[in-house]
Chain A
Amino acid sequence: MRRLKFILLTGLVAALVPLGSARAQISDTDVKAAFLPRFARYVTWPPAAMPKGDDPYVLCVIGTDPFGGLLEQAARSQSIDGRRMTVRRMDSTAGSNGCQIAFVSGGRGESTGQALAQLGNRPVLTVTDSNQGGARGIIHFVVSGGRVRFYIDQAAAERKKMAISSRLLALAVGVHQ
């Protein structure tokens, strides 16, 4: 009986802990949205692909947008070398000129693979999500070990004349060279 009480009490304590925990669990989408604008800090674009004058960096979502307002929220707090970041959304790669970062997911206009092919070797940091299928950009999000991580295709970045900082490479679960 005592033992039973002990088990019940332990169970009760376990049940109460989450109520006291202030920090709610974060979804993978929240973390991916937080990552996206930050990638700009760890990537060097060829000068021609950089924003002109005081223009902000442009983070594009090509296809379906899983983030809603999260991207604006994440982009708002970023300032990279004094430059701000804006978010643009588009159905297809048409109109993607000026994007430094592009989150590519299949949409009404193009599939992820088609959009990536359209971007070709243009110096755009393409980002894809394993949730949205198998096609891969330079950065490919996965959820691994309950954490949001990514694969980095460094060879593709080099073809696009972009350099990726070793600090970002160190966080990748795999780097394709």
Chain B
Amino acid sequence: MRARLSGGAHALTCTLALAVAAFAPARAEAKAAFRLPEQGVGEQADGARPEVSDASTPSAEAPGDLSNLSIEQLANLPVRSAAKREQPLSEVPAALYVITSDDIQNSGATSLPEALRLAPNLNVQQVTASQYSISARGFNGVQAGNKLLVLIDGRSIYTPLGDSVLWELHQPLLEDVQQVEVISGPGGTLYGPNAVNGVVNVTTKSAQDTLGGFVRGTAGTGERTAAARYGFALGPSAAVRLYADWQDREGLPVAAGIDQNDSYRGWQAGFRSDFGGAADQFTVQGDLFHATDDLIAGDRASAHNLLGRWTHTISPNASFQFQSDYDWYRRDVTLVRDSLTTFENEAQLNLTAGPHQIVAGGGIRLTKDLFINGLNGFQLNPQSRRLAVYNAFAQDRFALTDKLALIAGVKFERSSFVGWQVLPNLRVAYQASPRTLLWAAVSRAVRTPSRIDRELEFEPILPPSVDFKAEKVVAVEAGYRGEPSSWLSLSVNAFYNFYTDLRTTESITPALFPVELLNGRRGNSYGIEAWAKAQVTPWWRLSLGATTLHKNFHMEDDRVDFQPRNSLGADPHWQVVGSSEMDLTPRLKLTLDVRGVGALDLDPRVPGYVEAGGQLGYDLTDRVELFVAARNLLHGTHAENGDPGNAQLAKRSIYAGTRLRF
């Protein structure tokens, strides 16, 4: 462990030294590039009249004075992004990190889980070539990672089988992703079921923003990808895009366990159309997915989905949104067949009345599943089941003064297994200045029991847990989000979570067997999450994020849990991520990233590690981009997850690629 970390530190130092050496000559060049020569000013181009700056106008101080710049220079001026304001949900005072489209493309990520490593408030553990386990604020693990809500364009993708997310079934075209909002902590009233410890909200670009053709290909050690998209307008206020994305990944090296033969080939194709204009806007989109792997012949996964959304503006102060989606998948994995059909409907009304901003709505999530295990004796009884989750919610944001707002919300949620639950949350937002937001929140969230929680059985050693209750958390949070300086944005959040009724595997007789899944554990966790982004110079951005996590759990009445990993997960107690993005010249861009992750806290232990990667991209022309990228550059292999039955080792990957736009 020590040797590994110091080795990492050494390589890190070398990387830094190299990077610094590389900056020195590039800096002068990039600065020159930023101060473009006054080309274009005064130039008479078709229909454009000459630009004459009025010399008599007193020149204002920077940054307001942009009057001497040509229109081309304006278009190339780096700005502080206002991405946070693009979604109203982002204004909810919560621990929010936004991954932008540019962040993803500069990072060299080729899959959604790899892109999520950009969020400092998520812990991403690679399990196999295609599987990941991702969590916020602890409980990470193949079984334990069941407290995260993940939405892709509003479609919820966790499965009620174990309340976890099967990341390997989702392969969106990353270049079409508009942004990813990552909220650590309960998502509040507005998000759907399962937002216990975090929300990942992926939104793709409007079809109107992806007109034209796009092709990407990458090849290198470990994986090859190819993708294409074509977008076109249908009349003045409608557009459609079609896309396909193909990936071929080699298997990862074996960890302590068995070889998963996890090499993998998958493709996803789909469409999105956006239409309507003034008062009504419509989105219709869908995806098809298919993948095969090499564990045993016939192993495969298929999925498809279709979503429609209608947003209606009733008046400037009122709007209404209705969304309906259908989702299906089937996995055949080592003699296990798992399939799920989901049908979701959601309606939401937004009203502004004086100092009140009211959001109210409701949703229904219906699922029908089938789980047949031909591998061992663990069965779901019944094999197929229909489940429903209903909810109704209301939230009021009340502006007490210009600076102080109170947000009170409540959600009532009814699920097939545990009946009605009440999920209130109360938030205070104090906008101390336009650049400083202080907030605090108390919220209650529950994890609805999954099929495994309630109906997994293995006669005679594991009877179904007919009394299994929802896991519950009360989260107390406070945070600061602001811009202490015009070149620096900073966010600091602290949380304290009180958990009750966490899942345990316990003996129910004096003998060891039978065991049963019960709600035998309680406890608390606390930590700090902080991240900063600095625009050091117009051509150089730095970001740094760190999280800490302390867990303090205990069993009720000296009972014993045989499977703590399945309930508590295995988490690092700290994590640091940093990145540097440099526009070395207007055409050459270098991104470097480093992450350090502490040792996982449950046996079998996975040591901490430091890894680095990056991407060097060159715009050959406005339409052709070449890049080389690397992941996990510092070590040949390292362990991230450590799940005894599943985990393989993450490995170094170096690849080159190109993006063409036409």
Q: Which residues of chain A in 72-116 are interfacial with respect to chain B, using CB atoms and an 8 Å cutoff?
A: 73-74, 76-81, 106-111, 113-114, 116
- Whole-angstrom distance between the alpha carbons of A41 and B77 in the complex? 20
A77-B53, A167-B71 are known contacts. Are A24 and B278 too (CB-CB below 8 A)? no
Is the C-beta of B512 less than 8 angstroms from some C-beta in chain A?
no
List residues of chain B with CB within 8 A of the CB of A27: 63, 79-80, 82, 486
Is the C-beta of A50 less than 8 angstroms from some C-beta in chain B?
no
- Whole-angstrom distance between the alpha carbons of A176 and B237 in the complex? 10
- Whole-angstrom distance between the alpha carbons of A109 and B54 in the complex? 36
A77-B53, A108-B316, A131-B85 are known contacts. Are A149 and B75 too (CB-CB below 8 A)? yes
List residues of chain B with CB within 8 A of the CB of A79: 52, 54
Q: When the two chains form their complex, are residues B63 and A26 in contact, meaning their CB atoms are under 8 A apart?
A: yes
Contact with A along B72-83 (1 / 0, CB 8 A): 101111111111
Which of the 9-residue segments B145-153, B335-343, B536-544 touches chain A?
A: B536-544
Total B residues in contact with A, Cβ cutoff 8 Å: 68
A26: nearest residue on chain B (CB-CB)? Answer: B63
Q: Which residues of chain B in 176-221 are interfacial with respect to chain A, using CB atoms and an 8 Å cutoff?
A: 206, 208-209, 211-212
Q: When the two chains form their complex, are residues B78 and A147 in contact, meaning their CB atoms are under 8 A apart?
A: yes
List residues of chain B with CB within 8 A of the CB of A26: 62-63, 66, 77-80
B574 to nearest A CB, angstroms? 18
Q: When the two chains form their complex, are residues A34 and B536 in contact, meaning their CB atoms are under 8 A apart?
A: no
List residues of chain B with CB within 8 A of the CB of A41: 48-49, 51, 71
Partner of A113 from B72, B233, B278 at Cβ < 8 Å: B278
A10-B20, A117-B278, A147-B78 are known contacts. Are A171 and B54 too (CB-CB below 8 A)? no
B45, B64, B78, B206 interface centre (most CB from chain A within 10 Å):
B64
B34: nearest residue on chain A (CB-CB)? Answer: A23
A80-B49, A114-B316, A174-B212 are known contacts. Are A30 and B82 too (CB-CB below 8 A)? no
Q: When the two chains form their complex, are residues A42 and B72 in contact, meaning their CB atoms are under 8 A apart?
A: no
Q: When the two chains form their complex, are residues A76 and B57 in contact, meaning their CB atoms are under 8 A apart?
A: yes
Q: When the two chains form their complex, are residues A38 and B71 in contact, meaning their CB atoms are under 8 A apart?
A: yes
Q: When the two chains form their complex, are residues B315 and A146 in contact, meaning their CB atoms are under 8 A apart?
A: no
Q: When the two chains form their complex, are residues B277 and A24 in contact, meaning their CB atoms are under 8 A apart?
A: no
Is the C-beta of B279 less than 8 angstroms from some C-beta in chain A?
yes
A126 to nearest B CB, angstroms? 12
B388 to nearest A CB, angstroms? 32
B48: nearest residue on chain A (CB-CB)? Answer: A165
Is the C-beta of B416 less than 8 angstroms from some C-beta in chain A?
no
Q: When the two chains form their complex, are residues B80 and A111 in contact, meaning their CB atoms are under 8 A apart?
A: no
Q: When the two chains form their complex, are residues B316 and A107 in contact, meaning their CB atoms are under 8 A apart?
A: yes
Contact with A along B217-245 (1 / 0, CB 8 A): 00000000000000001001000000000
Partner of B81 from A28, A30, A109, A159 at Cβ < 8 Å: A28
Q: When the two chains form their complex, are residues B487 and A135 in contact, meaning their CB atoms are under 8 A apart?
A: no
Q: When the two chains form their complex, are residues A70 and B64 in contact, meaning their CB atoms are under 8 A apart?
A: yes
- Whole-angstrom distance between the alpha carbons of A130 and B40 in the complex? 28
A7-B13, A31-B66, A34-B67 are known contacts. Are A156 and B209 too (CB-CB below 8 A)? no
Is the C-beta of A12 less than 8 angstroms from some C-beta in chain B?
no
Q: When the two chains form their complex, are residues B48 and A23 in contact, meaning their CB atoms are under 8 A apart?
A: no
Partner of A146 from B54, B78, B85, B206 at Cβ < 8 Å: B78
Q: When the two chains form their complex, are residues B79 and A24 in contact, meaning their CB atoms are under 8 A apart?
A: no
List residues of chain A with CB within 8 A of the CB of B78: 25-26, 146-147
- Whole-angstrom distance between the alpha carbons of A115 and B47 in the complex? 28
B293 to nearest A CB, angstroms? 36
Is the C-beta of B555 less than 8 angstroms from some C-beta in chain A?
no
Q: When the two chains form their complex, are residues A134 and B281 in contact, meaning their CB atoms are under 8 A apart?
A: yes
- Whole-angstrom distance between the alpha carbons of A159 and B237 in the complex? 13
Q: When the two chains form their complex, are residues B278 and A25 in contact, meaning their CB atoms are under 8 A apart?
A: no
Q: When the two chains form their complex, are residues A111 and B313 in contact, meaning their CB atoms are under 8 A apart?
A: yes
- Whole-angstrom distance between the alpha carbons of A143 and B278 in the complex? 22
Is the C-beta of B534 less than 8 angstroms from some C-beta in chain A?
yes
Is the C-beta of B32 less than 8 angstroms from some C-beta in chain A?
no
Q: Which residues of chain A in 38-81 are interfacial with respect to chain B, using CB atoms and an 8 Å cutoff?
A: 38, 41-42, 44, 70, 73-74, 76-81
Contact with B along A113-138 (1 / 0, CB 8 A): 11011000000000000110011100
Is the C-beta of B535 less than 8 angstroms from some C-beta in chain A?
yes
Q: When the two chains form their complex, are residues A73 and B82 in contact, meaning their CB atoms are under 8 A apart?
A: no
B21 to nearest A CB, angstroms? 11
- Whole-angstrom distance between the alpha carbons of A50 and B300 in the complex? 65
Q: When the two chains form their complex, are residues A10 and B16 in contact, meaning their CB atoms are under 8 A apart?
A: yes
Q: When the two chains form their complex, are residues B85 and A23 in contact, meaning their CB atoms are under 8 A apart?
A: no
Q: When the two chains form their complex, are residues A142 and B54 in contact, meaning their CB atoms are under 8 A apart?
A: no
Is the C-beta of B461 less than 8 angstroms from some C-beta in chain A?
no
Q: When the two chains form their complex, are residues B236 and A24 in contact, meaning their CB atoms are under 8 A apart?
A: no
Is the C-beta of B60 less than 8 angstroms from some C-beta in chain A?
yes
Is the C-beta of B86 less than 8 angstroms from some C-beta in chain A?
yes
Partner of A114 from B20, B54, B313, B485 at Cβ < 8 Å: B313
List residues of chain B with CB within 8 A of the CB of A171: 71-72, 75
List residues of chain A with CB within 8 A of the CB of B538: 23, 25
A22, A78, A131, A146 interface centre (most CB from chain B within 10 Å):
A146
Partner of A31 from B54, B79, B542 at Cβ < 8 Å: B79
A61 to nearest B CB, angstroms? 15
Q: When the two chains form their complex, are residues B48 and A76 in contact, meaning their CB atoms are under 8 A apart?
A: no
Q: When the two chains form their complex, are residues B236 and A146 in contact, meaning their CB atoms are under 8 A apart?
A: no
Q: When the two chains form their complex, are residues A17 and B47 in contact, meaning their CB atoms are under 8 A apart?
A: no
List residues of chain A with CB within 8 A of the CB of B49: 41, 80-81
Partner of A18 from B46, B83, B487 at Cβ < 8 Å: B487
B54 to nearest A CB, angstroms? 5
Is the C-beta of B102 less than 8 angstroms from some C-beta in chain A?
yes
Partner of A156 from B46, B79, B206, B236 at Cβ < 8 Å: B236
A15 to nearest B CB, angstroms? 9
A170: nearest residue on chain B (CB-CB)? Answer: B72
B537: nearest residue on chain A (CB-CB)? Answer: A21
List residues of chain B with CB within 8 A of the CB of A146: 78-79, 81, 102, 541
Q: When the two chains form their complex, are residues A77 and B67 in contact, meaning their CB atoms are under 8 A apart?
A: yes
Q: When the two chains form their complex, are residues A113 and B277 in contact, meaning their CB atoms are under 8 A apart?
A: yes
Q: When the two chains form their complex, are residues B67 and A74 in contact, meaning their CB atoms are under 8 A apart?
A: yes
List residues of chain B with CB within 8 A of the CB of A151: 208-209
A42-B71, A146-B102 are known contacts. Are A24 and B62 too (CB-CB below 8 A)? yes
- Whole-angstrom distance between the alpha carbons of A115 and B313 in the complex? 12
List residues of chain B with CB within 8 A of the CB of A44: 47
- Whole-angstrom distance between the alpha carbons of A22 and B538 in the complex? 11
Q: When the two chains form their complex, are residues B47 and A165 in contact, meaning their CB atoms are under 8 A apart?
A: yes
A91: nearest residue on chain B (CB-CB)? Answer: B316
B40: nearest residue on chain A (CB-CB)? Answer: A167
Q: When the two chains form their complex, are residues B86 and A163 in contact, meaning their CB atoms are under 8 A apart?
A: no
Q: When the two chains form their complex, are residues B79 and A28 in contact, meaning their CB atoms are under 8 A apart?
A: yes
B49, B57, B209, B536 interface centre (most CB from chain A within 10 Å):
B49
Q: When the two chains form their complex, are residues A24 and B82 in contact, meaning their CB atoms are under 8 A apart?
A: no
Q: When the two chains form their complex, are residues A25 and B63 in contact, meaning their CB atoms are under 8 A apart?
A: yes
Partner of A73 from B60, B74, B83 at Cβ < 8 Å: B60
Q: When the two chains form their complex, are residues A147 and B62 in contact, meaning their CB atoms are under 8 A apart?
A: no
List residues of chain B with CB within 8 A of the CB of A176: 208, 211, 233, 236
- Whole-angstrom distance between the alpha carbons of A70 and B281 in the complex? 32
- Whole-angstrom distance between the alpha carbons of A25 and B534 in the complex? 10
A95 to nearest B CB, angstroms? 17
Q: When the two chains form their complex, are residues A38 and B74 in contact, meaning their CB atoms are under 8 A apart?
A: yes
Q: A73-B65, A165-B48 are in contact. List 9 more A-B contacts (CB 8 A).
A: A6-B13, A17-B537, A27-B63, A41-B71, A116-B277, A117-B277, A117-B278, A131-B85, A134-B281
Task: Report 14 cross-chain contacts, Cβ distance below 8 Å, ordered by A residue.
Answer: A10-B16, A18-B535, A21-B536, A30-B64, A77-B57, A80-B49, A111-B279, A114-B316, A117-B278, A131-B85, A134-B311, A146-B541, A168-B48, A174-B211
